[in-house]
Structure formats: C-alpha cells, structure tokens
C-alpha cells in the first residue's frame, strides 16, 4: 500500500457511516435489565418510532411537518452508537447518570457524527445532524414534541409485544433494580410521566389496557 493509499484508508468517508450503523448492534438496556430474550436494538427502536411518526403525524394535536418529524425520529438516538444506551428509569432509587451529563455526552457524539457525515466528509450528504439533535432535545417544535411522545409510545408497543410473547424472565436479568415494579410495569410508569399530548395519552391508555389484558390472560405465542 502506498502512502497515498494509506492516507485514503485512514480517512475513508464511510467510516462515520459504519460507526453510525453500529446502532443496529446496541441492545436496548431496559430490556436487558428485565431479562428479555434477544432484546431489540436501539436502531430497531428508532425504526419503530419512525414508523409511528409516519402513521400519526397528521393525527398530532399540533401542526407537525411529517418530513421534518421523520428526520427527527430517524436520528433521535443516533448518538447512542457512541455513548451506549442509558435507560430512563421510573424508580427513584435506580442508578443512572445525571440528565445533564447524559445529554452532554449525546450532544458531543452527535457533533462528531455531524462532522463525519456532512457534505465535506461523506459524498452527497447535506443533512445537519447537530441541528436535528438540538431541535429534538429542546422539544420546542411540534415535530420534536410529537417524536418525544412517540418515542415513549413505541416503547409501550414493544412492551406489549414482549408480554404477549412471554419473552422476558426477571430472574435472567437484574430484578433487584426493578424491585418496585412487577412484570414490565416500570416501562408504563416511565411513559405515563413523560407523555404530554392528547394523541400520546390516547395511545398510552389503549396500550396500557391491552398490556393489562395480556398479563391477565397469560398470553403467549402458544395460546
């Protein structure tokens, strides 16, 4: 390999993209803690949020631009490809990093991705990832508020799916960190405290009712 070839290899424009796609291998920590068998990745969750955004943008309580909301949904957890996934906990005794520390870490990761995936680094790219992340974190636009709520709603859809399939075993996870909650109840407690829109509340109520029915019925893939 020549020196020029070595320099090109060291600055491959697709390095940032390869690192971003590592999100597909980053397991959602909350499900790991609860002993879910083969838990979803953060990227799978992000796809779920994107799908919900596509489906519900027009039903949101405020005027929300679907295309802008889809962009926010696509990248809202991208920084976790570098930082890892830190779950939101309803249990006040749970040990998690301070919010400001976590947000700062994700903002730094997104700035790095923005530099690695901008038009100067990646051929034909023209998306401002840092601006999208700042908009999502500030949660001041209708699009950001929509995606914030659907981020929690998607988690509840996944909890319902795991409950119906009997996919979790607290004994296989770290049950001491969920001492205040039974089954997957903490995920609903977390969402209940965070969802603000009337659309989000309607979806929460329906999903919570379906989840409670699944628990009562002992639903599994074999029944």
Q: Quick: pLDDT tens for 71-82.
A: 999 999 999 999
Which of 2-11, 40-49, 157-166, 210-219 has the weakest average pLDDT? 2-11
Answer whether residue 54 is part of any domain: yes
Mean pLDDT estimate for the chain:
87
Q: Is residue 210 part of a domain?
A: yes
Whether 96 is in a domain gets the answer: yes
Identify which of 148, 14, 159 has the alpha carbon closest to the alpha carbon of residue 76: 148
Angstrom distance (rounded) from CA 92 to CA 63: 35
Which of the four pLDDT bands, split at 50, 70 and 90, describes residue 158?
A: very high
22, part of any domain? yes
Report the domain count for the chain.
1
Q: Would you place residue 2 in the very low, low, confident or very high pLDDT band (cuts 50, 70, 90)? A: low
Residue 122 lies in a domain: yes
Long-range own/partner contacts, residues 196-202 (CB < 8 A, 24 or more apart): 196/145, 196/148, 196/149, 197/60, 197/61, 197/62, 197/145, 197/146, 197/149, 198/61, 199/56, 199/59, 199/60, 199/61, 199/146, 199/149, 200/149, 200/150, 200/152, 200/153
The 10s digit of each residue's pLDDT in 90-126 is 455 555 556 678 788 888 999 999 999 988 888 888 8
Where is pLDDT greater, at 109 or 174?
109
Whether the pLDDT of residue 8 is over 80: the answer is no
* Angular region, 4: left φ>0, alpha ψ -120 to 50, beta rest: alpha
**Domain-embedded: residue 101:** yes
Q: Would you say residue 223 lies in a domain?
A: no
Domain of residue 99: give its range.
3-217
Is 222 inside any structural domain?
A: no
CATH code: domain of residue 27: 1.10.3210.10
């Amino acid at each position: 390999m020549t020196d020029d070839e070595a320099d090109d290899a060291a600055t491959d424009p697709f390095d940032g993209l390869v690192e971003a796609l590592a999100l597909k291998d980053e397991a959602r920590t909350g499900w790991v803690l609860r002993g879910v068998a083969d838990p979803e990745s953060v990227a799978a969750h992000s796809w779920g949020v994107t799908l919900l955004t596509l489906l519900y943008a027009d039903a949101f309580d405020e005027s929300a631009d679907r295309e802008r909301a889809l962009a926010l949904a696509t990248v809202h957890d991208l920084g976790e490809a570098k930082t890892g996934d830190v779950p939101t906990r309803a249990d006040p005794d749970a040990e998690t990093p301070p919010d400001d520390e976590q947000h700062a870490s994700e903002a730094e990761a997104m700035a790095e991705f923005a530099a690695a995936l901008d038009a100067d680094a990646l051929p034909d790219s023209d998306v401002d990832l840092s601006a999208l992340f700042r908009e999502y974190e500030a949660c001041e636009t209708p699009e950001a508020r929509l995606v914030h709520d659907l981020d929690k709603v998607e988690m509840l859809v996944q909890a319902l799916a795991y409950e119906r399939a009997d996919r979790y075993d607290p004994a296989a996870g770290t049950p001491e960190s969920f001492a205040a909650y039974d089954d997957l109840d903490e995920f609903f407690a977390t969402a209940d405290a965070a969802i603000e829109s009337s659309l989000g509340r309607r979806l929460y109520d329906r999903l919570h009712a379906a989840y409670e029915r699944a628990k009562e019925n002992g639903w599994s893939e074999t029944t």
